[in-house]
A and B are shown apart, each in its own frame.
Chain A
Amino acid sequence: MFDLKKYRKKSPWILHYNAGSCNGCDIEILACLSPKYDLERFGVINTGNPKQSDIFLVTGPVTFRTRERLVELYTQMPEPKVVIAVGSCACTGCVFRDMYNVEVGIDRYIPVDVYVPGCASSPELIIDGVVKGLEILEQKTKEMEKPFKLFKEATTDDGIVNRRHSALKVGEDDAKD
């Protein structure tokens, strides 16, 4: 039947958001989609809709007015998702660090999977970052589909079965083995 897993890997869709960058990295992302670098050969399409996208490309240090929108867009994207910080200012804040209206990088607000440095990061680097992001996406998909137990084995003390401490947190079982 319809194998969603396979298609997600073959054709990841991109959502791009500018959180206060200087446009330098944004035009490099556009250049990636153009015929010379051609990110579309990996099946990547630029969408404007967070609900359909798998990869979130963010540029720019987070300004005070874009941060709510950034978190909002992130939460609207379905799992599994990968966040790629493009450019030095998305990674650390770059020259804009310590300006009064700016945060230091996006990882204060949303978890980042791949950091792409450079001011402006070259298209080659961005493509590398997206390909790396695809690996992480696949790994995340696998992790999501792994079955996990909700209960531990019940303990028996003095012949009485005790289930009081048997509830498991998500992922606790994996951590043990």
Chain B
Amino acid sequence: MKKTINIPLGSQHISLLEPVRFKFECENEKIIGVDADVGFVHRGVEKACTTSFKFDAIGYVVARVCGLCAITHSLTYTAAVEKLLGAQITSKAKYLRILLLELDRIHSHMLCLSHTCENAGFEAMFMRIMGDREHIMEIQELITGNRVQFDYISIGGVNRDLAPESVQKIKENLYIVKQKVQGYMDEFTNNWSLSLKFKGIGMLSLDDAYMYNAIGPLARASGLRIDVRNEIDYLPYHEVGYKMQTHTDGDINARNLVRLAELVNSIEMCENILNGLPEGDIFTKIKGKPQGEALMRFEAPRGELMYYIKGNGSAMLERVRIKTPTFSCIPAFSHIFLGGDYADAPAVLASFDPCMSCTAK
């Protein structure tokens, strides 16, 4: 007789933001098999980029692949095209790009932390973090004119200059958020009921992280020192005070702490940029059509994002390939679920911070 029961989670579920279906095979309370189905939101962006949009418009189309890391998508694409066109952008534009990239990371990590708390049953913490996240959204609206989906990056620079009168407000908001993040650190390390839900649950060891090709905060929480920001020289990350954050435990708690440490580091980077922003233009005009192949990587909030583009000298590209962070992490996700309790599944899932609209494109 069959001893196991199958429990589906999704495609529509209160703890999920987006449609994804997991099928858990359970024996009593323990999960012994996982099957993931991620293709619900497949739209066909890659194909449309080569058939219906010209290369200078694609930067705004690929931003719609994912609303949370929209800026990383358009930046990676734009950087790849700039590499093909041999363009040089001004250093002010580079710093403004980092500023927005880090603001995006801050709000994405805060969303993830609040979501993890909500799925662990701590509704008050969810409300607290979501409330504080509005400070960052305000900054983004001040700089770019929109709260999410800011079409800020264009080929040759950025679309809007930083108004001098808004700098003061941005600094104030960043200061407030920094204080709040210190408070969360305390809460996440010392709160007893959160530790019951987070400590020692959803473990990923260093060897497994290496073997299953984990990236992003998931890998850094297991002690794997992997971060694209550390490896590229296209954006001056080392000048603005980038430090890699790692932890060794590999459980949900470690992931939260890594995200919190990255929040603090990102806020510091933003402050450094605001204090030492160089003078100059924000946009250089670039002529030509992309010809040849280019590959570009950046660190999205969830890990490495890679674009491959191929042009043939006309306005239409021949191929655009997007490799997204969640896609690379799926083997590690499935491995972590095995052997855990079913009751922990929503919290574990939220701690991965999965992004399905990235994965399915």
Contact = CB atoms under 8 A, between A and B. Distances in A.
B13 A48 contact: yes
B13 A25 contact: no
A61 B43 contact: yes
A100 B17 CA distance: 24
Contacts of A94: 64
Interface stretch (A26-34, A77-85, A134-142, A150-158): A26-34
Contacts of A96: 43, 45, 48, 64
B18 A18 contact: yes
Interface in A104-135: 119-120, 122-123
Given A22-B65, A22-B67, A99-B44, A65 B39 contact: yes
Contacts of A101: 42-44
B149 A120 contact: yes
A120 B149 CA distance: 6
A48 B12 CA distance: 8
Interface in B30-54: 39-45, 47-48, 52
B295 to A, nearest CB: 24
Contact of A120 (B43, B134, B147): B147
Contacts, number: 124
Given A25-B67, A101-B42, A120-B147, A48 B131 contact: no
B127 interface: yes
A23 interface: yes
A119 B149 contact: yes
Nearest to A25: B67
A95 B40 contact: no
A3 interface: no
Given A66-B19, A99-B45, A120-B67, A35 B131 contact: yes
A31 B132 CA distance: 11
A47 B12 CA distance: 11
B39 A24 contact: no
Contacts of B61: 95
A147 B354 CA distance: 50
B206 interface: no
Given A65-B40, A69-B19, A24 B12 contact: no
Contact of A35 (B15, B19, B52, B127): B127
B294 interface: no
A11 interface: no
A39 interface: no
Contacts of A35: 127, 130-131
A60 B17 CA distance: 12
A44 interface: no
Contact of B40 (A20, A28, A46): A20
A36 interface: yes
B68 interface: yes
B130 A24 contact: no
A30 B43 contact: no
A20 B41 CA distance: 4
B149 A24 contact: yes
B14 interface: yes
A98 interface: yes
A69 B11 contact: yes
B148 interface: yes
Contacts of A119: 64, 149
B41 A63 contact: yes
B133 interface: yes
Which one of A30, A34, A69, A122 has the highest number of Cβ atoms from chain B below 10 Å of its Cβ?
Answer: A34
A148 B40 CA distance: 43
A66 B52 CA distance: 24
B75 interface: no
Interface string A54-72: 0000001101011001000
A162 B61 CA distance: 66
Given A27-B148, A31-B130, A120-B148, A47 B14 contact: yes
Nearest to A61: B43
Nearest to B46: A99
Contact of B48 (A19, A36, A73, A99): A99
A21 interface: yes
B206 to A, nearest CB: 31
20 contacts: A18-B17, A18-B19, A20-B19, A20-B41, A20-B357, A23-B18, A31-B130, A46-B14, A47-B14, A48-B12, A63-B43, A65-B42, A69-B40, A99-B43, A99-B44, A99-B48, A101-B42, A102-B44, A120-B146, A122-B147
Which are the 10 A-B pairs with shortest beta-carbon distances?
A: A24-B67, A48-B14, A34-B130, A35-B131, A23-B67, A99-B44, A20-B41, A22-B67, A36-B134, A24-B148
